[in-house]
Amino acid sequence: MKYAIQQLSIFIENKTGELTDITEILSKNKISLKAINLVDTTEFGILRLLVDDAQSTKRILDNNGFSLTITDVFAVSIEDHIGSFNEVLSLLSENNINIEYTYTINCSKNGAFIFKVNPDNFKEATKALAKSKVKLLESI
Amino acid sequence: MVWNEVECSAKEQLEEIQSSRLIETVERVYTLTPFYKDKFNEMGITPSDIQSINDITKLPFSIKQDLRDNYPFGLFTVPMNQVVRLHSSSGTTGKPTVVGYTKKDMDVWDEVMARVFTMAGTTQEDIVHNAYGYGLFTGGLGLHNGAEKVGATVVPSSGGFTERQVMLMKDFGASVLASTPSFALHMAESASKAGIDFKKSFKLRAGIFGAEPTSKGLKEEVAKVWGIDYHEIYGLSEIIGPGVSCSCKHSELLHIFEDHFYPEIVDPKTGEPIEDGQRGELVITSLTKQALPIIRYKTGDITSLTRSPCKCGRTMVRMESVVGRADDMMIINGVNVYPSQVEHVIAQTKGLTLNYQIVIHKKGHLDKLDILIEVGDNIMMDSIGQMENLKKSIQHNLQNNLYIKANVKLVEPRSIERSIGKAIRIVDKRK
């Protein structure tokens, strides 16, 4: 699917050393991390990662006994002016698209906003944004 | 004090009562329930083979599964218009075990419970605070009726609301407490936190405790902290409910009301009789039950029997406080739960077999149940909300089906301890 970026969502328990277990495996396997986003409750959390090759990273983590799932997200380039995020949100809201979650990543230039929407709305959302002046990214 | 002089009968007299009642019961189940008739036929016996109580070992055993297989009323030997009460306990496959009582069965239950209260010295001068759960569970109503029968004033407070219960016990001047031992300690803790002086404020003199396995240390603690006589009560709904046996003030052994409930001790595996003083599985035959007579019911409880005389004058056989289980049944705050029931609920919730572990521990004096569930790729979702909902729906189903409150914890795959590759299903940290 155009503009779909594969994100890994990994289940982790809230206890010391959990994150390093994952980062060590990734670094040993020379996997470059593009984005890291962690959401948690008191007991467990979901670690969301953007990497170069989601499929092979999933395989590696699976083999190391982690539970994870791949989710499609899309990325919009951050324009360097006030109201940039608001522009994107307004476009989505005008099209009645609900955002499940969002976070930002920093890459060499300005970085990007990452959005997760209901899979049923994915095409509609990216179509609306592609037509507008905001810049959707095909990869990161 | 003894409620009924039959409790002090000579051995021969007792055996005579037991023999005639057993003959009647066997005749009853053989004629009225196809289940027993088939079992008797399989073993090649007829009621005429049973001439006295000593012939009881010729009879077939029955087990909890038999009650489930005949759900709900298949083993009843009276028409439903004769049944005045039903009780039930949680079941494995969503189907509970159901027990029924005729008016006469209720009289027997009241009678044996009156004996229990009399053992604890209860009279019409007493105020009995009953903190056993009222409802489908036999504990609350069983104790209630017995206390009424001896003429005491009953406070039917049921479980929960600890602080209010402490206040009522103090203000009403309760002299006898009926509850699980862990709840008694929990109340004591709550009272001392509130700065209540036990000696001055409470009139409590005796307690009737049961429904959960209790260490000697815990019993002593309950007796000491409340400054009361500790009486242990034993029973199970399949036989009558509470009131199968109870300890008097002279020893920790429990007198079994064997004119109504005939006990045997057998090897849990072979079913062979085990001699007095040795531990084995307790098997009980109801001698007077009408609605749901039960023959040689394997209780799963491990104990031993003693026939030595007791200072109280009662001659009825005494059993040791239950020391364990022949199967993997757990008792959580008085509620019986099998791991297979928990497994069934988990599997039903998600339509998947999940890797789980049951961890039982104590928070203060109450049992707490944690259920660890490994999050495999099959249930992993990219949404905290959905993962929390999964947790909640399992908790909800456990409460609805098994009447237990559990805290479900989602854990990483392969984090549950394994023993030779097999996950360890139960960790009991209470011991």
ipTM associated with this complex: 0.81
How would you class B420 by CB atoms within 10 Å of its CB: exposed for 0-12, middle for 13-18, buried for 19 or more? exposed
User: Between vectors from CA B186 to CA B407 and to CA B135, what angle results, nearest 5°?
Assistant: 70
Contact of B347 with chain A, judged by CB distance below 8 Å, is answered with no
Residue A28 confidence (pLDDT): 94
Tokens of B15: 């055996």
Contact of A47 with chain B, judged by CB distance below 8 Å, is answered with no
Nearest to B22, CA basis, from B53, B63, B47, B59? B53
Q: Residue B181, preceding bond cis, omega within 30 degrees?
A: no
pTM: predicted TM-score of the whole model, two decimal places = 0.75
Q: How many residues does chain B have?
A: 431
User: Alpha helices of chain A — where are they, by DSSP H?
Assistant: 18-28, 54-63, 84-94, 122-131
Same domain? For A48 and A63 the reply is yes
Nearest residue on chain A to B409, alpha-carbon basis = A43
Please answer yes or no on whether A69 and B383 come within 8 Å at the CB atom: no
Residue B419 confidence (pLDDT): 65
Strand partners, B239: none
Same domain? For A67 and A87 the reply is no
> Using CA atoms, how far apart are residues B62 and B181, in angstroms rounded to an integer?
30
Residue at a domain's end among A28, A48, A72:
A72
pLDDT, mean of each 10-residue run, chain B (431 residues): 96 97 97 95 96 97 92 95 92 74 98 98 98 93 98 95 94 96 89 86 95 83 94 96 96 97 96 95 98 96 94 96 86 82 79 78 88 86 90 89 88 78 79 67
CATH number assigned to the domain covering B69-327? 3.40.50.12780
Residue at a domain's end among A25, A43, A72:
A72
Q: How many residues does chain A have?
A: 140
**How would DSSP label each residue in B147-159?**
HHHTTPEEEE--S
Residue B344 confidence (pLDDT): 79
Q: Which of A46, A62, A71 sits opposite B384 (nearest CB)?
A: A46
Residue B347 confidence (pLDDT): 77
Q: Three-state DSSP class for B274?
A: coil
Contact of A9 with chain B, judged by CB distance below 8 Å, is answered with yes
Full domain range(s) for residue A89 = 75-137
> Using CA atoms, how far apart are residues B74 and A90, in angstroms rounded to an integer?
66
Residue at a domain's end among A72, A106, A129:
A72
Please answer yes or no on whether B380 and A39 come within 8 Å at the CB atom: no
Same domain? For A41 and A89 the reply is no
Please answer yes or no on whether B410 and A43 come within 8 Å at the CB atom: yes
Q: Which of A45, A68, A100 sits opposite B380 (nearest CB)?
A: A68
Nearest to B284, CA basis, from B119, B116, B44, B64? B64
Residue B133 phi, psi dihedral angles, 5° rounding = -65, 130
Question: With left for phi above 0 and alpha for psi between -120 and 50, is residue B228 left, alpha or beta?
Answer: beta
Q: Which of A13, A41, A45 sits opposite B411 (nearest CB)?
A: A13
> Using CA atoms, how far apart are residues B282 and B304, in angstroms rounded to an integer?
8
Residue B211 confidence (pLDDT): 85
Contacts 24+ apart (CB under 8 A), B309-314: B310/B248, B310/B250, B310/B251, B310/B253, B310/B255, B311/B250, B311/B251, B312/B2, B312/B119, B312/B248, B312/B249, B312/B250, B312/B255, B313/B2, B313/B8, B314/B2, B314/B7, B314/B8, B314/B248, B314/B255
Q: Which of B381, B384, B415 sits opposite A69 (nearest CB)?
A: B381
Rounded to a whole number of angstroms, the distance from the CA of B402 to the nearest CA of chain A is 25
> Using CA atoms, how far apart are residues B9 and B5, in angstroms rounded to an integer?
7
Same domain? For A82 and A97 the reply is yes
Same domain? For A86 and A114 the reply is yes
* Residue B53 DSSP class: G
The fold of B335-428 is GMP Synthetase; Chain A, domain 3 (3.30.300)
Instruction: Indicate the pLDDT class of residue A128, thresholds 50, 70 and 90.
Output: very high
Residue B352 confidence (pLDDT): 60
A residues 111..140 contacting B (CB < 8 A):
116
Q: What single-letter amino acid sits at B154?
A: V
Residue B91 confidence (pLDDT): 54
Rounded to a whole number of angstroms, the distance from the CA of B383 to the nearest CA of chain A is 8
B residues 392..411 contacting A (CB < 8 A):
409-411
Nearest residue on chain B to A9, alpha-carbon basis = B382
> Using CA atoms, how far apart are residues B108 and B137, in angstroms rounded to an integer?
18
Q: What is the bridge-based pairing of β-strands B97-102 and B83-89?
A: antiparallel
Q: Three-state DSSP class for B336?
A: strand
**Domain containing residue A82: CATH number:** 3.30.70.260
Residues of chain B with CATH 3.40.50.12780: 69-327
> Using CA atoms, how far apart are residues B106 and B353, in angstroms rounded to an integer?
43
Q: What is the bridge-based pairing of β-strands B280-286 and B297-303?
A: antiparallel
Residues of chain B with CATH 3.30.300.30: 335-428
A residues 58..87 contacting B (CB < 8 A):
62, 65-69, 71
Residue B431 confidence (pLDDT): 67
Residue A113 phi, psi dihedral angles, 5° rounding = -95, 135
Residue numbers in B near A44 (CB within 8 A): 375, 387, 409-411
Domain count, chain A: 2
Same domain? For A85 and A33 the reply is no
> Using CA atoms, how far apart are residues A61 and A39, in angstroms rounded to an integer?
19
Same domain? For A128 and A86 the reply is yes
